[in-house]
A and B are shown apart, each in its own frame.
Chain A
Amino acid sequence: MSDQTVTQTNEEQQSNDSTEQRSNSLTVDVETDERLVDSWTDYEFEDEAAITVEDLDVYYGDDHAIDSISMEIPERSVTALIGPSGCGKSTFLRCLNRMNDRIDSARVEGTVEVDGENIYEGDTDLVQLRKRVGMVFQSPNPFPKSIRENVSYGPRKHGDVNVGLLGRLLGNDDREVEREIVERSLEQAALWDEVSGRLDDNALGLSGGQQQRLCIARCLAVDPDVILMDEPASALDPVATAKIEDLIEQLAEEYTVVVVTHNMQQAARISDQTAVFLTGGQLVEYDDTDKIFENPESDRVEDYVTGKFG
């Protein structure tokens, strides 16, 4: 447990309470499954943790969407979050870059540490956070702008690239820098070869799969550490899906990737470790992907991954 959480004694108390509650409810829920108890908390990674979540609870009004989840997400790997719909996996993902702030009724308790800093602490700069933790959404959402502008949108808005009229007039615009960023990001997103000749076309003219890779490129252009993906291939056809999956595996060499999916084969194919969420916003099991799919601790998880339920 980090220093920051220890100092906050008051809330610490509270979170201990909720941990107890959780284990209580767990034993009630899965009486038949004695082996389950805290099996995954022993799970150790070879790499450093990029994100550490402790006792995270999310409420939408009275609705308890995330029920006291703790987990560590190792850096430079693919972590898959799977589970039936409504299990809270997307909500959990949105906690990691505080996109839940968009929803007025959402209330978040607990700590999420990115690089050792609790992002739910008072003076967290959302701009800096979201620069470090990028996000790719379920359906492609390119801006109605040119391909180039889509990719360079983040750097431009952060003032890293200055290509406005003023810069041009004063003769110190960053067109060269922008070109490099656009090319690098599109190459990383495996899109460069397809669009290099038409960077100034409207991005909405691209196919669905291309749009999604453009969104990934757009996210990479900001140079994040972590990339969150919310069912990135669910709106795409099989060919486009395969491309996105290849891309995710490549990205994990440099970035920490957290991907939500309801497609278990996809999770098995691309991820290094898998977290299984079942109904009620609970994390039931979290382990190496192979372990989860071949020999899970929990019977419920076994039923789920073998398709008996969910």
Chain B
Amino acid sequence: MSEQTATRTAAPAVDLFDRIALGVVGLSIVTFLLGWTTLFERTGTDTAVAGLSLFTLFGAVFLLAGIGLLVSGIASYVGAFETTADRYTGIGTGLGLGIVGFAVGGLATTILFGVGATGSVLVGLVVGLVVTSGVAVLPEDLGTTFPVGLLGLAWGGLLVTGAVDAGWFWNPPSLDATFHAPIVVPLATIALSLLIAWSGAIVAEGFGSQGRQNGAYLLIGLNAFGMIAVLLLLILFVVQKGLPKLLEGAQFGPGLGISVPFLTKGVMLGQQYNGIFPAIVGTIWLVIGAVLLAVPIGIGAAVFLTEYAEQGRFTAIIETTTNALWSTPSIVYGLFGYAFLVPRFGNSNSLLAGMFVLGFMLLPLVVITSRESIKSVPDEYRDASAALGVNQWQTIRSVVLPAAMPGVVTGVILGVGRIAGETAPILLVTSGQPFPARAPSILGSFRFVATPPFVQNEALLQASSALPYQLYAVITAGVGQEEAFGWGTALVLLLVVLGFYAIGIASRIYFRRKLHQ
């Protein structure tokens, strides 16, 4: 009676069949994770679990899981358990397993018999076709368990018997690469444990449409989990590598105040702690310039397209143009800046050219997000305003734009996060000295002169560094001692960019909540 949440989590009758299936899924997810840690060299061939070496353990798990799958498949087929297996496995699953068969068959041929590329591809194709057609016409309970279970037995056997051990390698004659067991075994283990988990998930729900849903959801869920894991690992990794450099020589004391030389100093000879202050300032100015250029033009264009223009050919062309601009590669913007802007801004790389190019890159994003949010302002607002006898521009200025502002601001912040990390255009139009000592001083450099163009700003027309370029400079300078400097820069860059993203996403959530209240 039932509160719905309670009924969902209520434990179904657990029988042997379920236990085997869940055991298979659980085991394979553990091996899946262990496969990754081995690939990342966190665990290795010398890791022993319960007296077994890691590879033997993998083998044992695959043997067990393979037997489990085969037993459940047969049990369902002979009717020992009640399942809802379909008459046929179907072509979709057949094709999927056929691709696995193609890969396994082809690789096995070339590894075992040294057959060349064409020959093994042919063998692989034959194996794949046989697997596809065989699996497709088998009853579902056999088709989804047997191929996977047999593969598990085979791979498990190779590992347990030591036919593939830590010293195993394969050197394909046509490639320069040699594949050693420490890479091959975890990769194969990861792939196979995914297959087995999928098959086990299908068994756990008793095949049929529910089983297929379970299998698919398991894989899709693991994929989403993987994306989160990649994000976290990347950030943690950069933090771990970069933090020591960032805090080098840093002082946090009551008497001394806070000082972080990495953030406040340039690179100078004879200086105890070098830093990336000029690059930080460069990035700040680039972002400010780009925003000043792109935001007014972008919002203006969005207002015209949404409020004034009749929807037709013209708006369609501009919309296509905007989207094309959005997907234009950054290096192409760089080339454009190099050919068009640099000659006009004193014929040398300059901060101003960088501002323009980044502004151009930001522009389409501002147009697109502003249009979206202006469109989502309900027409009732406009009608209400118009009904009061207010003209169109006043309506836009005092009703439409304020209502659309949250969306615009969010879009701009996210866009800024994107351009702040752009390297390629900076490389072509702004970069100068790789490790500058001083930051550009924009505000102090304005001069009025009697000759055209009358206003001069030396600093704007000079090359500058920026955070992403600084990182690139470390790489081109060659690794070695500078690598720590690079990690420190990478961390600061990441903090800046992710900071923009965090603010952008948080403000979007905030405005959405406010809207729904």
Q: Nearest residue in B to A111 (C-beta to C-beta)? A: B1
| Contact segment of A118-126, A249-257, A292-300 | A118-126
Of B4-12, B393-401, B408-416, B461-469, the one contacting chain A is B4-12
A111's contact among B2, B87, B91, by CB below 8 Å, is which?
A: B2
Contact B86 A159 (CB under 8 A): yes
CB pair B3 A164 closer than 8 Å: no
Known contacts A165-B91, A166-B90, A166-B91; decide if A157 and B4 are in contact (CB<8 Å). Answer: no
Chain B interface size, under 10 / 10 to 19 / 20 to 34 / 35 or more: 10 to 19
On whether the beta carbons of A162 and B7 are closer than 8 Å, the reply is no
CB-CB under 8 A for A108 and B3, given A123-B10, A165-B91, A170-B137: yes
Q: Are B4 and A123 in contact (CB under 8 A)?
A: no
Q: Closest CB-CB distance, B513 to chain A, in whole Å?
A: 14
Contact mask for chain B residues 137-154; partner A; CB cutoff 8 A; 1 contact, 0 none: 100000000000000000
Q: CA separation between A282 and B15, bound complex, in Å?
A: 43
Known contacts being A127-B209, A166-B88, A166-B91, is A121 close to B7, with CB within 8 Å? yes
Q: B306 interface residue, CB < 8 Å from A?
A: no
Of listed B5, B87, B210, residue having the most chain A CB within 10 A: B87
Given A122-B10, A123-B12, A15-B1 contact (CB < 8 Å): yes
Query: Is B136 part of the binding interface, using a Cβ–Cβ cutoff of 8 Å?
Result: yes
Q: Contact between A164 and B1 (Cβ–Cβ < 8 Å)?
A: no
User: What bracket does the count of chain A residues touching chain B fall in?
Assistant: 20 to 34
How many angstroms between the C-alpha atoms of A164 and B90 in the bound complex?
9
Q: Are A109 and B10 in contact, CB atoms less than 8 angstroms apart?
A: no
Q: Check B91 against A108 for contact (C-beta < 8 Å).
A: no
Q: Is the CB of A157 within 8 A of B209?
A: yes
> Which A residues are in CB contact (< 8 Å) with B3?
107-109
A200 contacts partner chain B, Cβ-Cβ < 8 Å: no
Question: Please, which residue of chain B has its CB at the minimum distance from the CB of A125?
Answer: B210
Q: Which residues on the A side are within 8 Å of B208 (C-beta)?
A: 159
In the complex, what residue of chain A is closest to B85 when comparing beta carbons?
A: A159
Query: With A107-B3, A107-B4 in contact, is A127–B210 under 8 Å at CB?
Result: yes
**Considering only CB atoms, which chain A residue lies closest to B10 in the complex?**
A122
B-chain residues with CB within 8 Å of residue A12 when the two chains form the complex: 1
Q: Are A11 and B2 in contact (CB under 8 A)?
A: yes
A265 at interface, CB cutoff 8 A = no
B7–A120 CB distance below 8 A: yes
Q: Which residue in chain A gives the minimum CB-CB distance to B1?
A: A11
Nearest opposing residue in chain B for A106, CB measure: B4
Is B87 in contact with A162, judged by CB distance below 8 angstroms? Answer: yes
Q: List 20 A-B contacts (CB under 8 A).
A: A12-B1, A107-B3, A107-B4, A109-B1, A109-B2, A110-B2, A121-B1, A121-B2, A122-B10, A122-B12, A123-B13, A124-B7, A127-B210, A164-B90, A164-B91, A166-B88, A166-B136, A167-B88, A170-B88, A170-B137
Q: A108-B2, A108-B3, A166-B136 are in contact. List 18 more A-B contacts (CB 8 A).
A: A11-B1, A12-B1, A15-B1, A107-B5, A108-B4, A120-B2, A120-B7, A121-B1, A121-B2, A123-B10, A123-B13, A127-B209, A159-B86, A159-B209, A165-B91, A166-B88, A166-B137, A170-B88
